[in-house]
A and B are shown apart, each in its own frame.
Chain A
Amino acid sequence: MIDGKSKSKINEWLWGWFLVAPAVIGLIILNIIPAIQTFYLSFFKSGDFGRGNIFIGLENYKKLINDSQVWYAVRNTLLYTLFVVPVSVFLAAVIAVLLNKNIKGRGIYRSIYYMPVIATPAAVTMVWRWLYNYHYGLINYVLKQLGLNPVNWIDDPKVALISIAIISIWSTTGYNMVLILAGLQDIPTVYYEASNIDGANAITQFFKITIPLVSPTLFFVITTSVIQCMQVFDVVYMMIDVTRPSYDSTVSLVYLFYNNSFKYLNKGYGSAIVMVLLLIISVITVIQVKLQKRWVNYMG
């Protein structure tokens, strides 16, 4: 005999399974199985036209360690991240602090700073390529007017990675700014009032109230920015093609993954490269979560 109570319980189970089914089945097919397959594929050499894969054990990983391009890609990706994240978060924080004041036209400023976030990276990079053009670009023209030497923004291996980083900083600062601004606006004004009574000045308030209370937002912004930077592809792809002299000094891990998997059609090797990316991102994330205990304050 099923009594009323267990009947409603089973009813709840059925509804639960029914509602969750599309999402969970979709995620299993689209993500869980593919993740396992990619790992599995990384032990194979891809046959022609994707057929007849040959098991080669750890060969892809051995090849990877001896492949100078992989090392370049790891170095470039890390350098790029190390450059973009601090600069972008710092600028975003400064702008957010300024816009958090009761300043005229702050809605307009906010909209303008957010605009690059909306634009397609593919289009944006074409524009920046034009701005960076060695002979006819606007930036070199301005440098010349200031009496400075033109810079070979795209082809000089020493500069190209910075050029790419500048585009990324330009296009992500607005996003980070909106997040930090929201964090700042959540800080109750009573804290500032109380510390005013205690005689604290603006700088003390900034370090003792603002920074600690906005630290969870900062942590979120930094963590997501790092993960996104580690996956940089569009900007590098649109700006530097394989034949450019600056290719080795700008190729990112995901670009290398793309080239090997879909251009040279070696999906086994591509899989191994993406496993390296996964490993690096995991390590960085674990470190960040560990470090967070030292500087992030969660209320309550």
Chain B
Amino acid sequence: MTVRNKVYRVIIHIFLIIGSFIMIMPFVWMVLTSFKSVTEATQMNPFVFFPTKWRIENYLDVIKQNNFLRLYYNTFSMIFWRVVCAVAFSSMAGYAFARLNFPGRDFCFGIVLFQMMIPTQVFIIPQYLMVDKLGARNTIFALVFPGLVSAFGTFLLRQFFKSIPVELEQAARIDGCNIGQTFVLIMLPLVRSGMVALSIFTALFAFKDLMWPLIVNSSPDYATLASALAKIQSAYSVKYNILMAASVLAIWPMILIYFIFQRQFMQSVTTSGLTM
């Protein structure tokens, strides 16, 4: 390697390290503050970087005031059902759109494209009124409701099914599989990576969503982690150490899942992005 190349590499690393620092700093600061006392958090002279005593009490405080177990339960129930519904219905429809001929197919696919092009806010008021009319506000079902079907998922899995060679399917049919068997036994296992990508997308989207849980479930018993944070913020407006503890409690599950399934997370972005 030439000297010029080496210098070049060092500069790149310095740039990337500064960037990494900026990306991580808010997380570090959140964790550090979450263990401080209010005095430490707001002390300027000298400025306190590390808490002198790591106060677990902040966490106990915010857990006592807010039923976090319940929030985890609500959030992950919502995610679970949304993922199950999205993957099941999207793979069924995706397969039919990709491989079967039936009257009305193009019209039905038009509906999928329509949904994908319209911003979700357009649907929210009527969706809310429907849940309200069903008397289903403040339930897990209400949280799942807008995610019962996924146009994006249908489109994504259709692309995956399209990329599988037709010969495979024909062979299965000649061997005596009917359409349903071919779909379940032959085709579904082949689009597993698409289903994983869709699951990650659906889960992440649901986990991050704020507006829907905020409007549809006003009771704290049916809040999600995101919507509960909004309430916690107004309750503890100036106690930043408590607020940071709440934030840590709200984001750690997804961060943990991310570090376990990193590769799948990255792949889900690229596969879904590039097949569109």
Pick the residue among B92, B101, B266 that contacts A114 (CB under 8 A).
B266
Given A103-B13, A127-B244, verify A35-B26 contact (CB < 8 Å). no
Q: Of A60-68, A128-136, A157-165, which binds chain B?
A: A128-136
A115 touches B258 (CB 8 A): yes
Q: Is A110 an interface residue (CB 8 A)?
A: yes
Given A17-B102, A119-B254, A182-B270, residue A35 in contact with residue B210 (CB < 8 A) = no
Which segment of B53-61, B62-70, B109-117, B164-172 sits at the interface?
A: B109-117
Asked if A112 and B273 sit within 8 Å, CB to CB, the answer is no
Q: Is B30 an interface residue (CB 8 A)?
A: yes
Interface size range of chain B in the complex: 35 or more
Q: Determine if B126 is an interface residue (Cβ-Cβ < 8 Å).
A: yes
B185 on interface, CB distance cutoff 8 Å:
no
Contact A20 B92 (CB under 8 A): yes
Is B266 in contact with A110, judged by CB distance below 8 angstroms?
yes
Which residues of B sit under 8 angstroms from A135, Cβ to Cβ?
A: 42, 44
State whether the Cβ of A84 lies closer than 8 Å to any Cβ in chain B: no
Is B142 in the interface zone, CB < 8 Å from A?
A: no
List, in ascending order, chain A residues with CB within 8 A of B112's CB: 23-24, 27
> At the interface, yes or no: B135 with Cβ under 8 Å from chain A?
no
Assess whether B93 is interfacial by the CB under 8 Å rule: yes
Query: CB distance B108 to A24 under 8 Å?
Result: yes
Whether B20 and A109, one on each chain, are in contact in the complex, defined by CB atoms closer than 8 angstroms, is: yes
Q: How far is the CB of A291 from chain B (nearest CB, A)?
A: 18
Enumerate chain B residues within 8 angstroms of A27, measured Cβ to Cβ: 111-112, 115, 149, 151
Interface residues as binary, B172-215 with A (CB distance below 8 Å gives 1, 0 otherwise) = 00000011100100000000000000000000100110110001
* Complex Cα–Cα for A244 and B204 (A): 31
Q: Please state if B127 and A34 are interface contacts (CB–CB under 8 Å).
A: yes
Beta-carbon contact of B225 and A120 below 8 Å: yes
The distance in angstroms between the C-alpha atoms of A22 and B108, with both chains bound, is 11
Q: Which residues of A contact B243 (CB under 8 A)?
A: 126, 130
Tell me, yes or no, whether A19 is within 8 Å of chain B by CB.
yes
Q: Identify which of residues 225-271 in chain B touch chain A, using a CB-to-CB cut-off of 8 Å.
A: 225-227, 229-230, 233, 240, 243-244, 246-247, 250-251, 254-255, 258-259, 262, 265-266, 269-270
Residues from chain B with a CB closer than 8 A to the CB of A31 are 111, 114-115, 118, 123, 151
Residue contacts A-B, CB under 8 angstroms, 24 given:
A11-B178, A19-B92, A19-B96, A20-B102, A24-B108, A31-B114, A32-B115, A38-B123, A38-B126, A115-B258, A122-B208, A124-B247, A127-B30, A127-B244, A130-B243, A179-B269, A234-B208, A238-B230, A257-B121, A262-B215, A267-B129, A274-B121, A275-B122, A278-B119
Shortest beta-carbon contacts, A-B, top 3: A16-B102, A26-B149, A34-B126
Instruction: Identify 8 new A-B residue pairs, CB closer than 8 A, beyond the known A22-B89, A26-B89, A123-B247.
Output: A26-B148, A31-B151, A32-B114, A113-B19, A118-B204, A118-B265, A121-B226, A126-B244
